[in-house]
Structure 1
């Protein structure tokens, strides 16, 4: 459980420099599910390190995508791109 909390602390405090040390500490232990998690993270190590180091969010973009998807759902699938585009512009 300590490894999971340490990972959470890295996320909250933006401590990407702790990431290699954390990986080494977890690899020593016998936690197969956490090892699988680490294997996934190591596939794109640069992106994970940047995520753990740089403060940033894609929340605004995700909000716009969600709003457009809701508009499309409200139109019950009877929408082509031109009509959806017009509706998004009118709503802005």
Structure 2
């Protein structure tokens, strides 16, 4: 009898789990899957190095991780890498929250009668 391959959900759970928490049969099956699919092998390596980087708070390592991700043909991880790069290079906003100055005026009673009238009419 031919054994059924593990489901995508099962493989995903194995990849996202800490390696030491997997049972020996699970580790062997994951190793077999990784051997037969180089893309899943590369994905597993990147996911695990990402997890180590953030659980051990290695803040200086993301550029090297992003570079390694870009070297493999993994479009989904490329999208993540582009998003992380864009977030890291974006300048912070001027205020902690875009509407914070307006709300502070409203709450301290300095909003003026026009704004209070709008708020009453709109039911805010």
Range into which the TM-score falls when normalised by the shorter chain: 0.3 to 0.5
TM-score normalised to the size of structure 2? 0.36
Rg bigger for which structure? Answer: 2
Q: Which structure's relative contact order is higher, taking Cα pairs within 8 Å and 6+ residues apart?
A: 1
TM-score normalised to the size of structure 1? 0.48
- Decide which structure has greater helix share: 1
